[in-house]
Homo-oligomer: A and B are copies of this chain.
Amino acid sequence: METEHNLIDSGRVNGTHVFGSDREQIGHIDHLMIDKLSGNVAYAVMNFGGFLGMGEEQHPLPWKSLRYDTSLAGYVTDLTKDQLTGAPERVSDWSRDRAYETRLHDYYGLAPYWL
């Protein structure tokens, strides 16, 4: 069963391609950020490689905005290019800034991973 084969070494997630809902590649995962207490993946820090014309190359996406697609061997997001390019600008030390994290989840319309 497919559902029996869903484990992946966290290091091997890095570099995995990410596709838009049109199945065009929009970037790849640079690394994951894990919530140490819950053990849940909180963010995939994406590298867009200038593909979207974003000022920042790296941008955290809430993990819930991605789903794995076995046929693409990568992650797919339903977020649009406009949503991605209009996202709140990443602040320095963003992963310790709950206000930024809240803005980001609000922006994407996703429930925060910590609630």
Q: Does A43 contact B (CB under 8 A)?
A: yes
- Residues of B near A114 (CB, < 8 A) are 3
Q: Does A31 contact B (CB under 8 A)?
A: yes
* Partner of A13 from B7, B8, B10, B64 at Cβ < 8 Å: B10
Q: DSSP majority for the A interface?
A: mixed
Given contacts A3-B114, A41-B41, are A36 and B8 in contact (CB under 8 A)? yes
* Partner of A10 from B11, B66, B97 at Cβ < 8 Å: B11
How many residues on chain A are close to B (CB under 8 Å)?
33
Nearest chain B CB to A70's CB is how many angstroms away? 9
* Partner of A31 from B11, B31, B33, B39 at Cβ < 8 Å: B11
* Partner of A64 from B34, B35, B39, B66 at Cβ < 8 Å: B39
Nearest chain B CB to A82's CB is how many angstroms away? 25
Nearest B-chain residue to A99, judged by Cβ? B4
- Chain A interfacial positions (CB closer than 8 Å to B): 3-11, 13-14, 31-37, 39-43, 63-64, 66-68, 95-98, 114
